[in-house]
Structure 1
């Protein structure tokens, strides 16, 4: 199903709390909750809505998944706790935030590891993704095979553009609740503040922080352009969303329902990847039209700053030789 930027961004109430449509003849055997932190207008919710409708239809109404978007069930850290306890059965989460529970899950977010999308999907659909899913499985959580896309992350600020690494010195920058993000921006001499996504808009509006960093699709759908002036294209890290299930809830499903759910959730993830790529292609122009000043950056200055600060050496030590070797093999380059 092809989506225009307009239809992707429009968003409708049908993608909110409602579960899948169709197949109403039989009462659901299993009613599960799926939570995420993104606005209804984001492609994640559009594609998730399609997936849960297909799952309900193909299961004859036996599996009904209800969607709770936009932090409705709590912040990322709150919902991760709910996922572990079984209060929520499904959750999509960045591997970098998941690293608060599964430390090596964040390896895909190392600064400037991936030069382009081709290298991302080769790694995440290949050995690196398999390795990370294995690490996640040890924590009592099941990750679907296909990781969904969040995108390459860019920096926005209210007070000045970021042209190179030196411009980040002293900048109060919101980062997600994850050690890797904090470590990277400290290496740039910035002042990172860990704030859950639900509170980002307010933190920017009230000047608790000067800026934040996120992919273009989130900057647009969360309307961060209303409280930020400058958009600096850094592509400093790629980020995705693992589609996670509580292991006990997942294993309660009969084999046929697990197969239906897994097939449709992975297919939706692939479609969401294409949506985000298409969306990003036109978003610079749209964000500029909404008043943002957009600038390119000097990527070598950021990489050099990370090397000099010992960032790569530090994280190679934390992840271990085996994990670091899988990452370098996946990206086809030595890091650090």
Structure 2
């Protein structure tokens, strides 16, 4: 199904209502299982558009026995708070970045290693293959269940207010906002940048007041936060890829009869694959829109960036942190890194 930005906005009006109050079932009875699904993206994001469609399909195929209610935009708390609620059972479903999940499951950050993936073909080969299987096995050790298909958050790009990024030299000394995460900090330090860990809620102000001159995020975040107002250049560095694991509280998942689990997993995994295509379309549209708003785009060659990380010892550092087994699985998917 082709989804335009207009359709995304229209299609989420119903999802908005579903997020505030339980949807009335057409089956004349209350749901046997009413589960909450929390996430940190707006209703207009393809993740929620597809999650709403999956919830409807699950409700229909189970004759109303399983009702999944959507709570977008961190309505139930921050990522850290919601992850705690999922572990405790207060929230049954949650989509979370592997890089943030790594605070609990270190191996979940494997997919975010800098310049590991050259393109989306490599991402899906790895995440639908051995690398995804390995990460899910690590997630299971934390008493969480991860669906088989990971959802797309996108490749991260670099924006600045002062110059485009064409080579690793352009990153030297650059004051750049990064999330509060060791992997980001260590990568940009390897580029001799000056990374500053700043929460997303403070990012726009930090850029506006020149506390930092740059930031890095998927294009969807650049658009949502209106960063084109405070950033002139966007370099398509594709330096890290990030996805959303669809997580379930293990006890809540196993409480569902096997047939309901099968139906839920089928529709949630299908929705993840559809959302990936939606994101590809959205990113293409967003580049055009941001260009129209004055943002200048460039596409640097990435081989020099990977060489710089290798020579700076970045890959050696993270190979040690992840361990030989995990690193070998990553390199089987993307080739030799360090």
- Counterpart of 2:41 in structure 1 is 38
CA–CA distance in structure 2, aligned partners of residues 247 and 105 of structure 1:
17
- Counterpart of 2:102 in structure 1 is 99
- Counterpart of 1:156 in structure 2 is 159
- Counterpart of 1:146 in structure 2 is 149
- Counterpart of 1:218 in structure 2 is 221
- Counterpart of 1:14 in structure 2 is 14
1:231 and 2:234 matched: yes
- Counterpart of 1:25 in structure 2 is 28
- Counterpart of 2:197 in structure 1 is 194
CA–CA distance in structure 1, aligned partners of residues 187 and 10 of structure 2:
34
CA–CA distance in structure 1, aligned partners of residues 255 and 276 of structure 2:
29
1:116 and 2:119 matched: yes
- Counterpart of 1:126 in structure 2 is 129
What's the C-alpha RMSD, in Å, of the aligned pairs?
Answer: 2.0
Question: Taking structure 1 as reference, are residues 228 and 40 closer, same or farther at Cα in structure 2, changes over 3 Å only?
Answer: farther
Give 1:266's match in structure 2, choosing from 257, 264, 269: 269
- Counterpart of 1:276 in structure 2 is 279
Q: Which SS does the other structure have where 1:237 is aligned?
A: strand
Task: Tell me the CA shift for residue 8 of structure 1.
Answer: 3.3
Give the unaligned 5+ runs of structure 1: none
Question: Taking structure 1 as reference, are residues 164 and 47 closer, same or farther at Cα in structure 2, changes over 3 Å only?
Answer: same
The number of aligned residues is 335
Question: Taking structure 1 as reference, are residues 61 and 181 closer, same or farther at Cα in structure 2, changes over 3 Å only?
Answer: same
- Counterpart of 1:335 in structure 2 is 337
Give the unaligned 5+ runs of structure 2: none
CA–CA distance in structure 2, aligned partners of residues 168 and 21 of structure 1:
53
Does the 8 A contact of 2:12 with 2:48 survive in 1? no
What is the TM-score with the length of structure 1 in the denominator? Answer: 0.92
Which moves more between the two structures, 168-177 or 56-65? 168-177
Partner deviation per Cα, 1:100-129 (whole Å, 9 max, x = no partner): 110111111111111111111111111111
Give structure 1 regions of 4+ aligned residues with deviation exceeding 6 angstroms. none
